[in-house]
Structure 1
Amino acid sequence: MTAARPNRRIRIGVSGWKYASWRGDFYPRGLAQRRELEYIGEHFSSAELNGSFYSLQRPQSYLRWRSEVPEDFVFAVKGSRYVTHMLRLRGAEQGLANFFASGVLALGAQLGPILWQLPERQNFDAALVEAFLASLPTSTGEALELARRHDERLDGRAWLEIDEDRPLRHALEPRSDTFADPEALSLLQRHGTALVAADTAGRWPRFDALTADFAYVRLHGAQMLYHSGYTAAEVAEWAGIVSAWADGSGSSDGLPRDVYVYFDNDARGHAPHDAEALAALVGALV
């Protein structure tokens, strides 16, 4: 008799949470802004941290965010644009050291995948991508060793401790169709890095290949990038995809996967409502 394969956890949430258009709509009128993340934690099981993309955050911020959500809530953290958009993955070790020293590790057990979003002009370069993926820490212990090599800009404000050594997951969101190259998929698989499935209203290519033991989905809008809401039919379609990836029926290897889904169609306040609709369909914990 074959044992039943368990469904892996599906986490559905939003990309960021500080949006004026959500106030008095998703957020109840009168809710203090300092309690918005707490409210997110009551409704979802995960969220993307976006501020880390634009600048190095401080340990105190990560500790505060962690304290405002339930213990089983998970943060996906967006990697530094200094690494992805300025260095364009070249010579990135110092940038990675500073990023991991900035306080990311203070999230502890609530640290989820690290998202690396590439610029549209970044074409697939096998040697470059191989070197970058090989430089990414695969555990919090490795990340700590890397963080200890931070430069003087982090002196006196670095977070250099972990409570235990945990595996680290990375996801790559390219915006060039050159990443459809089978060699790119092979590299990602070899390094256990998830290729992000991004819905961008046709602006950038959508990749659906599963290259890791988890899947990462970013929903930026099906009709208008960042602006349009998802119809009931579109939510149902994504519910089918996500559920099939989670139970293994939608993957070529038949293996169940953890699935992280984030709505980024926040310009007109659709993201949290769409996230709730999808969570209700897949039965995710929210």
Structure 2
Amino acid sequence: MRSGVQALHVGCAMWSLKSWPFSRPPGEKLRAYAGWCNAVEGNTTFYATPARQTVTTWAEQTAPDFRLIPKIPKRITHELRMQGAEEELRSFLDAIEPLGPRAAALWIQLPGSFGPADTAVLSRFLRSLPAHFRYAVEVRHPDFFADPRGLERVLAEHGAEWVPFDTVAFFDSPPTSDAERDAWLKKPRMPRRDTALTDRPILRYLGRDDPARTVAGWQPWVATVAGWLREGRSPTVFVHTPDNADAPELARRFHAEVRAQVPELPPLPDPAPLPVPDEPLTLF
């Protein structure tokens, strides 16, 4: 572990949403987002391996220290369950190569049916992966949380991180909006887990559509992340809400609350200014 306070990266589940306070042409949306947050979840790669040229444009729109953590495609993790997936894996690794250091880790999100009895499969898969990447694993089977020791041993053996998805605050009380009701049916009920296995912990946090409730629910994480930074770790935190309308502002607020506890933490850059409209705004 390196001494001294490292960077805190914060971001959202995506880099474009119509309601967000910045807008750019389709080929510039990631650049606009990167003016607000310094990390983003690579959810798009979970659904399909992108074209290499598409990934090249992502790299061109972000600084080398921006963290885009691509998910290994569900074809590999969910359909093939990490077995007999050599061709698909080669295609994926070739596609994301232009990201360079921006690919701070490769994200292995596993289905809820993947339990402790399958841990040996994960170990073999991690052993087969190129050593120059970091890896982060997200599990959803409840037995892993009841007794985490077996999974922790496997992850430690391969230098991989365990990605918690904290939904405790979200499920604390019944939904109050359409977006919350939809998320209530789709999101997993996950416990809070705050043990970092590496110097690059990654956290997903799901709040509520009410920003005040989201902020109240993340207070334990402010202290945890501040502690990680004091230990010399460099965390990445992703803030979700059911509608994600305020997610960029909330991610920046989380960073500010951590910095209030760790003043030596470098601040995020000021958000890029909003574009000036070509014509004056009118009421009609």
* TM category, shorter: 0.7 to 0.9
SS of residue in 2 equivalent to 1:257:
coil
2:35 is the counterpart of 1:37: no
Residue of structure 2 equivalent to 1:122: 114
SS of residue in 1 equivalent to 2:35:
helix
- Letter of the 1:212 counterpart: T
Counting only pairs closer than 5 Å after superposition, residues 252-271 of structure 1 correspond to structure 2 as: 256-265=232-241, 267-271=243-247
Residue of structure 2 equivalent to 1:111: 103
Residue of structure 1 equivalent to 2:51: 58
Residue 196 of structure 1, aligned match among 151, 160, 163: 163
Q: Which residues of structure 2 form unaligned runs of 5+? A: 172-188, 260-265, 269-284
2:243 is the counterpart of 1:245: no
Residue of structure 2 equivalent to 1:153: none
Structure 2 Cα separation of the partners of residues 21 and 188 of structure 1: 38
Residue of structure 1 equivalent to 2:124: 131
Residue of structure 2 equivalent to 1:217: 203
Structure 1 Cα separation of the partners of residues 267 and 47 of structure 2: 30
Instruction: Say if 1:197 and 1:51 are closer, same or farther in 2 by CA, change over 3 A.
Output: same
Shift of residue 208, structure 1, vs aligned partner = 2.5
Contact 1:83 1:89 in 2 (8 A): yes
Residue of structure 2 equivalent to 1:151: none
Instruction: Say if 1:196 and 1:117 are closer, same or farther in 2 by CA, change over 3 A.
Output: same
Residue of structure 2 equivalent to 1:14: 12
Q: Deviations over 1:64-105 (max 9, x none)?
A: 11111234322111111111111122233332222102x211
Residue 79 of structure 1, aligned match among 72, 83, 95: 72
Structure 2 Cα separation of the partners of residues 75 and 285 of structure 1: 19
Report the identity percentage: 28
Residue 81 of structure 2, aligned match among 71, 88, 93: 88
SS of residue in 1 equivalent to 2:201:
strand
Structure 2 Cα separation of the partners of residues 65 and 34 of structure 1: 9
Contact 2:166 2:206 in 1 (8 A): yes
Provide TM-score, normalisation by structure 1: 0.76
How big is the alpha-carbon RMSD for the aligned residues of Structure 1 and Structure 2?
A: 2.1
Structure 2 Cα separation of the partners of residues 137 and 188 of structure 1: 15
Shift of residue 285, structure 1, vs aligned partner = 4.0
Instruction: Say if 1:206 and 1:232 are closer, same or farther in 2 by CA, change over 3 A.
Output: closer
